[in-house]
Amino acid sequence: MKPDVCKPDFEFCREGEGRYQVFLVSPRMRLGLVLGKPGSWLAEDPAGNAITRYNTRKDAAKALLKSVLSRENLRPYRVSLKEEPGDKFTMHFDCWAEDADHAAEQALDAYPTAEIGHEMVMNLSTPPSTLYHGTSAEFSTFRVPPSGVHVGSFDQAVHAATMKLARMAPGKFASLEPDASGWPGTILMVSLKVKQIKDVDDAKTASAWARAIKTARAQGFDCLRYINAFEGREPAPSYVVFDQGSIEITGCANR
C-alpha cells in the first residue's frame, strides 16, 4: 500500500543553508532533498535527479512524493542502523528503494557515518505479526475504551508501562509482583486481526482519539496507525484498535 497523495504531511530537516532533507510523515519515508530559497526550490530525488523548481518547499515535496509513487519498481524498505559504529541503540531508516543496496545507499546518504545492520521490505498494508502493550497488571482480554487500545514496539510498551507505574499510589505499587529482573511492569504480546488500516497523526488526547475512531469507523476502517514520538526512544509506528475482536493477547514478554 503506497501513501495517499491527497493530504500528505511532510517533515523538513535542515542540513545547511537552503538544504533540507524531506520525509513523508506517515508512513515515514525519505523522499529526497529540496534546495534553494523561498520562491525558488529545487526538488532532488534520492538518486540525485533534479525534478524542477517550485515556489514553496511543500510544492517541491509533493513533486518528490509523486515521483516516488510513479516508479513502479520502488518498494518500501526499513534499514536498521547504528548512527555511529559501536552505538548501543539501533535506529530505523525508512525509504522507497529499488533493492536492499539502494535502501542502504539512501541510509548512508542521510547518516554518512552510520553502521548498517540489515534491510527489510516493509509491508505497509498489514501490521507486524507481534506487537506489544505495556501495562501494570496482567490480564487475558482487553476492555476497549472509546479512545481505543494502543499497541506498538517493545520499546514503546516498556516506556508506557513505566509511566503507568510512576503514577501508581505507593501501596498499590508495593503489591505488584515483580518479574525475574525485579521490574513490576507487564509487557503483553498481542496480534491484530484487522483489514483496513488508516494512517493518521497522533491525536494525543483520549477525546481526540475517540473522535478519530468515530470518523474511521464511518469510513470503513478497523485500525489506525500513527507515528508515536512520545513513547520509546525513537519515533515508530503505533496501532490503535477499537473492537475487542480485533486484538488477541498471545503471551507475556517478561513473565
The model carries a pTM of 0.57
The count of other CB atoms within 10 Å of the CB of residue 57 is: 18
pLDDT band at 226 (very low <50, low <70, confident <90, very high): confident
For range 227-252, the mean pLDDT:
89
DSSP 152-168: B-HHHHHHHHHHHHHTS
Among residues 240, 31, 229, 210, which one has the least CA distance to residue 127?
A: 240
- pLDDT tens per residue across span 160-201: 999 999 999 999 999 999 988 899 999 999 999 998 888 888
pLDDT band at 1 (very low <50, low <70, confident <90, very high): very low
C-alpha cell at 152: 506498538
CA 239 vs CA 91, 98, 126, 138, 224: distances in Å = 19, 27, 11, 20, 6
- pLDDT tens per residue across span 119-175: 666 666 678 888 999 999 888 999 999 999 999 989 899 999 999 999 999 999 999
Q: Give bridge partners of residue 120 from the DSSP assignment.
A: 78
Percent of the chain exceeding pLDDT 90 equals 44
Query: Is the Cβ–Cβ distance between 228 and 152 less than 8 Å?
Result: yes
Q: For residue 55, what pLDDT is reported?
A: 92
Q: For residue 146, what pLDDT is reported?
A: 97
